[in-house]
């Protein structure tokens, strides 16, 4: 069982959360010429890192906020959590 | 190589079975090969076998980080089927079914292929309609399919929950009678033994640390047991695809996830088919040892851990008990996890890449085991001929760019959204 510290609610069990994937993926900017490759990278291509990985989770059965979580994908250790609008340093 | 036969079994009995040949050798890597296959799982071993058998390319090495058959080919639930609707998936899988049927003879190794049939249960009228459509598509592609009503399903699997007031009543199901199971380890060992006998070097405990690429061409591979010069590399590493792709400066449409499976304590024969729950994600069969073999959903977040978390297992087994209540009486014997290379449209990739001499085989999601022979056969063709075969033409890497997705189930990496 993972325990994730929601920046809004505190430490909660994994059961309350839903996963949203790689948090480092950025949507291409609107109103600009966007190449197919840019869209590919946004929609499909993923680094899927082994080790430390910033990812999005939603506290679905809690405050329903999206948050960012830094987790090790090989050991499941969680290092850090941020609100969705906070930048990854 | 000694043939496995009743004659040789009796002959060796007289010498206390001390004189059997090793099934495969443990060679030191050479300095140069024609083809290097990275990944000694089912697909890698099958690829090497078909390179030797179909294309006469025997100066081949399989490089495996751990031991052969220690990854997903030893961690799956052994289901073999071709019940797909899309032509690309159906024709590819059915080609594989034909290889499965003669595999034990072909490899001179009993893979215990058991075509016991698979039943996908339907729990609504709408689901019966989709199954009818899928069954018709399968039949048009020459695959056997039967639509069963509730009573027909009850005759085959009376232990399922047919009571009236359940949340997901059984309306019927779609059966592929020729689907089945096989002994997964034997598949890896059988391919390894034959490939080895034809001259393929199976190199275990050898980790790939980098690649030699110059002028857009593969020149060699760096490993923990020395550098190897090679012109063609087949990447066949499932869970490590992203890790090795990073060494090649490639980002690929794959996310790495964990899938759990489990077996119960062995019980007397009760279930002689593979059955899947239609209102969730759960599948079950009974092994020859009597264990109930079960699996279901991904854990749901990127993982390389090869071990799972309890909440998902609990969720999956709840579905199992909803489908077959007697399961609640069984003790769990073993649970384990395997790492899936989940592609973004749920279909695999067997293709060339932008680097000359680098071939990619990945994205098998849940369906890697059944695809072992067809994947090996088509990947060997792609490597040997430097062009894709019509059977794997749909499994292209650039389909995510062109939009020709093979989204058979409309599921990619986020399967829990369904």
CB-closest option in A15, A46, A75 to B255: A46
Q: Residue B412 above 90 pLDDT? A: no
Q: What is the 3-state secondary structure (H, E, C) of B321-380?
A: HHHCHHHHHCCEEEEEEEEEEEECCCCCEEEECCCECEEEEECCCCCCCCCHHHHHHHHH
Q: Report chain B residues touching chain A, CB-CB < 8 A.
A: 242-243, 246, 251-256, 300-305, 309-311, 344, 400-401, 413-414, 416
Q: Residue B418 above 50 pLDDT? A: no
- For B54-105, how does the pLDDT look when each residue is reduced to its tens digit (9 = 90+)? 999 999 999 999 999 999 999 999 999 999 999 999 999 999 999 999 999 9
d(CA B415, CA B373): 26
Q: Residue B416 above 70 pLDDT? A: no
- For B309-355, how does the pLDDT look when each residue is reduced to its tens digit (9 = 90+)? 999 999 999 999 999 999 999 999 999 999 999 999 999 999 999 99
Q: Does B301 contact A44 at a Cβ distance shorter than 8 Å?
A: no
Average pLDDT over residues B139-165: 96
Average pLDDT over residues B404-408: 90
Going from N- to C-terminal start, the domains of chain A cover: 3-23+38-83
Q: Residue B417 above 70 pLDDT? A: no
Q: Which CATH architecture has domain A3-23+38-83?
A: 2-Layer Sandwich (3.30)
How many interchain CB pairs under 8 A, A with B? 70
- For B4-61, how does the pLDDT look when each residue is reduced to its tens digit (9 = 90+)? 999 999 999 999 999 999 999 999 999 999 999 999 999 999 999 999 999 999 999 9
- For B181-190, how does the pLDDT look when each residue is reduced to its tens digit (9 = 90+)? 999 999 999 9
d(CA B233, CA B210): 12
Residues 15..34 of A with a Cβ closer than 8 Å to B: which?
15, 18-19, 21-22
């Amino acid at each position: 069982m993972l325990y994730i510290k929601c920046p809004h609610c505190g430490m909660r069990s994994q059961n309350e959360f839903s996963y949203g994937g790689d948090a480092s993926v950025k949507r291409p900017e609107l109103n600009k010429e966007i190449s197919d490759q840019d869209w590919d990278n946004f929609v499909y291509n993923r680094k899927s890192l082994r080790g430390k990985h910033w990812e999005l989770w939603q506290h679905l059965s809690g405050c329903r906020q999206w948050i960012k979580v830094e987790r090790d994908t090989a050991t499941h250790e969680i290092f850090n959590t941020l609100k969705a609008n906070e930048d990854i340093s | 190589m000694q043939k496995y036969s009743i004659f040789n079994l009796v002959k060796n009995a007289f010498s206390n079975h001390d004189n059997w040949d090793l099934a495969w050798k443990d060679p030191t890597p050479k300095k140069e090969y024609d083809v290097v296959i990275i990944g000694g799982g089912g697909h890698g071993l099958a690829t090497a076998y078909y390179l030797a058998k179909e294309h006469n390319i025997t100066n081949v090495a399989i490089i495996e980080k751990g031991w052969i058959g220690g990854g997903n080919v030893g961690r799956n639930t052994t289901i073999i089927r071709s019940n797909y609707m899309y032509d690309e998936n159906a024709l590819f899988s059915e080609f594989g079914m034909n290889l499965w049927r003669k595999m034990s003879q072909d490899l001179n190794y009993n893979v215990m292929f058991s075509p016991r049939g698979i039943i996908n249960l339907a729990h609504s009228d709408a689901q019966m309609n989709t199954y009818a459509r899928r069954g018709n598509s399968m039949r048009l592609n020459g695959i056997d399919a039967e639509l069963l009503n509730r009573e027909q399903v009850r005759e085959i699997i009376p232990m399922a929950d047919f009571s009236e007031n359940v949340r997901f009543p059984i309306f019927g199901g779609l059966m592929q009678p020729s689907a089945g199971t096989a002994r997964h380890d034997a598949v890896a060992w059988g391919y390894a033994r034959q490939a080895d006998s034809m001259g393929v070097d199976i190199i275990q405990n050898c980790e790939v640390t980098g690649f030699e690429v110059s002028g857009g061409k593969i020149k060699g591979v760096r490993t923990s047991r020395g550098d190897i010069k090679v012109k063609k590399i087949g990447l066949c590493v499932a869970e490590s695809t992203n890790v090795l792709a990073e060494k090649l400066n490639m980002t690929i449409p794959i996310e790495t996830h964990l899938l759990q499976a489990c077996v119960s304590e062995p019980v007397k024969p009760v279930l002689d088919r593979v059955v899947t729950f239609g209102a969730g994600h759960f599948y079950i069969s009974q092994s020859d040892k009597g264990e109930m073999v079960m699996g279901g959903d991904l854990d749901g977040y990127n993982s390389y851990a090869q071990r799972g978390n309890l909440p998902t297992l609990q969720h999956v087994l709840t579905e199992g008990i909803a489908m077959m209540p007697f399961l609640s009486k069984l003790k769990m014997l073993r649970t384990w996890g395997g790492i899936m290379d989940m592609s973004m449209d749920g279909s695999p990739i067997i293709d060339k890449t932008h680097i000359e001499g680098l071939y990619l085989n990945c994205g098998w999601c849940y369906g890697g085991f059944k695809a072992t022979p067809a994947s090996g056969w088509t990947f060997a063709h792609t490597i040997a001929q430097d062009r894709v075969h019509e059977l794997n033409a749909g499994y292209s890497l650039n389909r995510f760019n062109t939009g020709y997705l093979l989204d058979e189930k409309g599921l990619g990496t986020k399967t829990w959204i369904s």
